[in-house]
Structure 1
Amino acid sequence: MIPTKSKSKHHHRSSVAAASSPPNHRSSTSTTAQNDDVIQEEWRAAAISGGTLKRVDPESGTNGWASPSGDLFLLRGPNFFATKSKTPSGQYLLQPCGVDWLRSTSKLDHYLSHPQNRIVNALKKSKSKPFIIAINLQIPGKDHHSAIFYFSSPESDPVQPGSLLHRFIQSDDNFRNSRLKLVNRIVKGPWIVKTAVGSHSACLLGKALNCRYHKMQNYLEIDVDIGSSKVASAILHLALGYTSSVTIDMGFVVEAQSEEELPEKLFGAVRVCQMEMGAASFVQTPSVKKVSISSNGKLGGEAGNSQNGDSLKSN
């Protein structure tokens, strides 16, 4: 097609405008984006290194965590409802930003509101304001333990409005309970653990266990109470006897339940490598003070430990 005269003029004006721009004008946007990415990576690196469970080599590491390939997880593919076929998930929707392995005298609920929570305190100081999803697996016992996995969405690539993950974040607890899925893979471990847990299994966490959701401006924390199921507790306590010889992959996904929601994608995954129970860091459970959160979900100072106000309700 031969361009019309008017189009040629328009193209010429655009070229002139671009040519007459200040030398640094065209690169300012990309430079700003690059700077934001650097800040985000610095924040994420600090969050990872500050975790109480250290990052290790995914193949040979012990007593730590790693990021397994998303392709190891087979999820519902684009034609699942017609063919029941599953496909590798591929890259996670969110980035891993650390793991905490904690011990306390009582259950750690809404740990991101803990006054000394390192993730929230780092967010308050950082110019980067990513959105965080924290999965808090609460393990009952004489001492309470929590394995907390953090995933973040950078400001330069936020969770897309209208996406299934965005709907999960913004929806009510009934929707979340019907969609939050855990996919397990036993990478290494004795036969008894593989038999009890299943070498490759999936379940809707909100259907099998009590889950509590704490949605604030910059994060969503999901507290998963393993003690709420006698069956899950029994299996877990059997597995805990072998933790130092077990490596397990855990993938988290919002389940697709209609064709337009396919294919499924992991929003995050973690490989826990032969973790030692005694390596958990002790955390004092706050009894009087917590980080206050205003009704619009913004982080504030300290306030009373009330659970009755709108500021601490899930939404």
Structure 2
Amino acid sequence: MGITQSDDKMEGWLYTIRSNRFGLQFSRKRYFTLQNNVLKSYKTIPTSEKEEPDRSAIIDSYIRVTDNGRESIHKKVFFIFTLYNTSNHNYQLKLGASSSEEAATWIHSLQDAALKKSSGNTSNIVDPPKKMWSSLRLSSIKRTRGNSMDWNFSPSLHTEAMTSDVIAPSPWKIFGCQNGLRFFKEVNDWDSHGRNGDEAIMAVGMVAGTSEAIFHTVMALGPSRSEWDFCCYRGSVVEHLDDHTDIVHQLLCSDWLSWGMGRRDLLIQRYWRREDDGTYVILYHSVIHKKCPPQSGYVRACLKSGGYVITPVNGGNKSLVKHMLAIDWKHWRLYLCPSAARSITTRMLEKVAALRELFKTKQGNCLSESYGEFEREMELAQMKKEGTQTKAQEPEEISNTDKDTLIVEEVEKQTSGRASLMDVNDTSDEFFDVPETSDSTDYDCLENESSPGLPSLNRQQPELPSAAGLVKNLQELATQKKGYMELPEVTREEENITTYSYGTTLQKDPACNVPCSWATGDPSVFLIRGENYLKDHHKINAKSTLMQMVGADWLRSGKRENDFGSRPDSIVQKYAAWGRPEFFFIVNIQIPGTTMYTIAVYYMLKTPLEEHLLLHKFVNGDDAYRNSRFKLIPYISTGSWIVKQCVGKKACLIGQALECHYYRGTNYLEIEIDVGSSTLARGVMNFVLGYFNNLVIEMAFLIQGNTQEELPESLLGTCRLNHLDVTKSVLATP
């Protein structure tokens, strides 16, 4: 639809995504403007700035924006993002864009607006109009700002996110060049070479097309795929798990395989995301799914890991495409001759050259055809899913007439008997169908059709799958990768009944030779803002940390565990009981699921807190200030390529991406990071959790410096978690 963006204003067409009283979603096209931290909505393009908007909302530091991925609503694909208020999650606004590029631009602009609107800087903010969104009543929330701190925002946030913030040796070594592509093999210390010759191989080439067009071409499984993918005979989406993940079945052609090999097929889980710089990441790995058992006449190959990284270059007109595969072809002859397996995998990677030639002949204009196929595939997958669920709910012996009567009776019964918002969103209402109204109809009309006894608040359909549902799906999809285990089938070691102190459940091992241990990471591998960063945007290697890491926990529980610093049996309270002056900083990472896992790392400051001005300001600031400054740099130093791509190596303002809670004690500050507050982060963490015992995870924490007085930055602390094993997690005591 197109958007217009200037230094102080952004405007364009978006779709509001709402739910009626039955929980069914519908969309309405509206024209949005974002200026001076005020988001306004119009039914038509405004003719002047004085025109009264249809709806408006203030975008301040309490607003978060989450990327919900793609979703099909009434046969139209949207790229969804949601605005919500951290003070009350009932106040939220769900919007959809026509393309991922438009969605990303809006997300960045809204995040920038939320950061610029500091708690102490309101002089340039215009008063919002009286008519506010009922689903995003931001101005009606009372906030206490007595302890607020002044801070400034540097516009380099998203530029910074485009580059890696970790200096690490490349695990790839070139071994050949063919058909204009460079071929690399993975060589590192984590045993990327499988015993069956299924080593990781990557092809790299330049394609004359935008990253978005290439992304849609690669994702499409329809007839257009036959124009470049000579390996795939037919593909289909088996199940749509969430907005970033689905299950795909591919039947492979046999004419390009080695002589004597039978036909092969693949059943893979496909995950995708878009980076801030326009890079698309698509990841694959093999799974088992009850809806797609092994096919007669085909041998199912095992894709250990694979995918694409599509990075825009030259202003976005061209893209660097990396295609990686580590695959076991399930053929006895290849086990005896690993070079033959590499030859077949290399042949499959030559699809990148075919993709390059396709865009060359069409002069980069491949988006419309592949995008249409992408929409139809999503729609078909969702129809299959809804049809299966509807069939399971309705008795087979009921006739069509009886079904209609039953639906009417059920609606009347449920509407008259329910008065709460949660009851209206009950899952039994999900599968009613309603005709789509025209765009000219006001989207408030459907809400007004509800009975007088029901509240007129926003009725939002529950997001599916939930954290527990996603974990259940992943547990049912038993992967065929080395090192992956299903959590329900894990036999835990006998519980250690002896008591322990919080901060001591993981043992320290500086050499990182003992599984389930911790050590301090090397600060020099992490990049931080230098003294002249505001002028040259140059980052430097960190030299040391302000704090000393003194302990770590690896816990599991049936509920969320927080505020470890206040517990009498924690190392924090033991130091306090001894009258020691040290100050503690705790990072508590909550991993959601049927079983809640917790990673907690403890840091100790030996010098007085007042000597470190930025840290003192952070510890005593309000939550809005803390969320705008606390930064995490992740790094998988040992692990598979697919996990490294999932996690990345880029600094993140964690309070802007995930929900954080802060607990301030006399001698400590604890930050609780809720991974489950983001659909995307929850899916990544639940995927990575199955690989934990094969990973060495490193993290660095710091407070972002935005002014010259706050530079250069300093790392608060680093940590290295070695081969965490879910079977050795400690049961948290009440």
Same fold (TM over 0.5): yes
Question: Which residue matches 1:260?
Answer: 709
Whole-angstrom CA distance in 2 between matches of 1:123 and 1:57: 24
Question: Which residue matches 1:20?
Answer: none
Question: Which residue matches 2:618?
Answer: 168
Aligned partner of 2:647 among 168, 189, 197: 197
Question: Which residue matches 2:659?
Answer: 210
Aligned partner of 1:131 among 578, 583, 605: 583
TM-aligned CA deviation for residue 102 of structure 1: 1.0
Aligned partner of 1:188 among 619, 638, 651: 638
- Code of the residue aligned with 1:70 in structure 2: it is P
Partner SS, residue 184 of structure 1: strand
Partner SS, residue 699 of structure 2: strand
1:127-166: CA deviations, max 9, x gaps? 4231111100011111111111111112xx2223461111
Whole-angstrom CA distance in 1 between matches of 2:572 and 2:604: 12
1:265-302: CA deviations, max 9, x gaps? 111110111111111111133xxxxxxxxxxxxxxxxx
Matches within 5 A, 1:52-71: 52-71=505-524
Tell whether 2:602 aligns with 1:178.
Answer: no
Contact 1:58 1:271 in 2 (8 A): no
Contact 2:589 2:675 in 1 (8 A): yes
Question: Which residue matches 1:220?
Answer: 669
Partner SS, residue 234 of structure 1: helix
Question: Which residue matches 1:51?
Answer: 504
Contact 2:614 2:710 in 1 (8 A): yes
Q: Pick the structure with more helix per residue.
A: 1
In structure 2, relative to structure 1, the CA distance for the partners of 1:50 and 1:230 (3 Å cut) is closer
Whole-angstrom CA distance in 1 between matches of 2:532 and 2:501: 37
- Code of the residue aligned with 1:101 in structure 2: it is W
Matches within 5 A, 1:296-307: none
Structure 1's unaligned 5+ residue stretches are 1-46, 286-315
Whole-angstrom CA distance in 1 between matches of 2:582 and 2:637: 31
Question: Which residue matches 1:251?
Answer: 700
Aligned partner of 2:602 among 150, 166, 170: 150
In structure 2, relative to structure 1, the CA distance for the partners of 1:59 and 1:104 (3 Å cut) is closer
Partner SS, residue 65 of structure 1: strand
Contact 1:105 1:284 in 2 (8 A): no
1:144-196: CA deviations, max 9, x gaps? 11111111112xx2223461111101111110000000011110100110111
Whole-angstrom CA distance in 1 between matches of 2:502 and 2:598: 18
- Code of the residue aligned with 1:160 in structure 2: it is E
Question: Which residue matches 1:35?
Answer: none
Partner SS, residue 160 of structure 1: helix
Question: Which residue matches 2:334?
Answer: none
Whole-angstrom CA distance in 2 between matches of 1:100 and 1:57: 16
Whole-angstrom CA distance in 2 between matches of 1:162 and 1:55: 28
In structure 2, relative to structure 1, the CA distance for the partners of 1:90 and 1:162 (3 Å cut) is closer
- Code of the residue aligned with 2:659 in structure 1: it is N
Whole-angstrom CA distance in 2 between matches of 1:215 and 1:76: 27
- Code of the residue aligned with 2:567 in structure 1: it is H
- Code of the residue aligned with 1:138 in structure 2: it is Q
Whole-angstrom CA distance in 2 between matches of 1:58 and 1:259: 38
* Amino-acid identity (%): 35
Contact 2:501 2:571 in 1 (8 A): no
In structure 2, relative to structure 1, the CA distance for the partners of 1:240 and 1:135 (3 Å cut) is same
In structure 2, relative to structure 1, the CA distance for the partners of 1:60 and 1:284 (3 Å cut) is closer
Whole-angstrom CA distance in 2 between matches of 1:164 and 1:50: 26
- Determine which structure has greater relative contact order: mean sequence separation of CA pairs < 8 Å that are 6+ residues apart, divided by chain length: 1
Contact 1:58 1:273 in 2 (8 A): no
In structure 2, relative to structure 1, the CA distance for the partners of 1:139 and 1:49 (3 Å cut) is closer
Q: Which runs of 4+ in 1 moved over 6 A?
A: 47-50
1:57-92: CA deviations, max 9, x gaps? 345443211101211111111111211111111111
Whole-angstrom CA distance in 1 between matches of 2:586 and 2:669: 6
Matches within 5 A, 1:37-48: none
RMSD over aligned CA atoms reads 1.9
Question: Which residue matches 1:12?
Answer: none
Matches within 5 A, 1:276-287: 276-285=725-734
Whole-angstrom CA distance in 2 between matches of 1:49 and 1:222: 15
Whole-angstrom CA distance in 2 between matches of 1:266 and 1:162: 12
Question: Which residue matches 1:306?
Answer: none
Aligned partner of 1:95 among 548, 565, 574: 548
Whole-angstrom CA distance in 2 between matches of 1:256 and 1:226: 25
Contact 2:572 2:668 in 1 (8 A): no
Question: Which residue matches 1:119?
Answer: 571
- Code of the residue aligned with 1:54 in structure 2: it is Q
Residues paired across the two proteins, number: 235
Contact 1:56 1:62 in 2 (8 A): no
Contact 1:100 1:147 in 2 (8 A): yes
1:100-125: CA deviations, max 9, x gaps? 1111110012222234x322341243
In structure 2, relative to structure 1, the CA distance for the partners of 1:61 and 1:85 (3 Å cut) is farther
Contact 2:660 2:674 in 1 (8 A): yes
In structure 2, relative to structure 1, the CA distance for the partners of 1:267 and 1:50 (3 Å cut) is closer
Whole-angstrom CA distance in 1 between matches of 2:554 and 2:570: 13
Whole-angstrom CA distance in 1 between matches of 2:610 and 2:522: 23
Whole-angstrom CA distance in 2 between matches of 1:159 and 1:91: 17
Structure 2's unaligned 5+ residue stretches are 1-499
- Code of the residue aligned with 1:182 in structure 2: it is L
Contact 1:58 1:67 in 2 (8 A): no
Contact 1:135 1:224 in 2 (8 A): yes
Whole-angstrom CA distance in 2 between matches of 1:62 and 1:162: 35
- Code of the residue aligned with 1:177 in structure 2: it is N
- TM-score, length of structure 2 as denominator length: 0.31
Whole-angstrom CA distance in 2 between matches of 1:48 and 1:164: 30
Whole-angstrom CA distance in 2 between matches of 1:168 and 1:203: 17
Contact 2:502 2:571 in 1 (8 A): no
In structure 2, relative to structure 1, the CA distance for the partners of 1:164 and 1:50 (3 Å cut) is closer
Whole-angstrom CA distance in 2 between matches of 1:255 and 1:75: 9
Question: Which residue matches 1:241?
Answer: 690
Question: Which residue matches 1:85?
Answer: 538
Larger gyration radius, structure 1 or structure 2: 2
In structure 2, relative to structure 1, the CA distance for the partners of 1:108 and 1:169 (3 Å cut) is same
In structure 2, relative to structure 1, the CA distance for the partners of 1:269 and 1:48 (3 Å cut) is farther
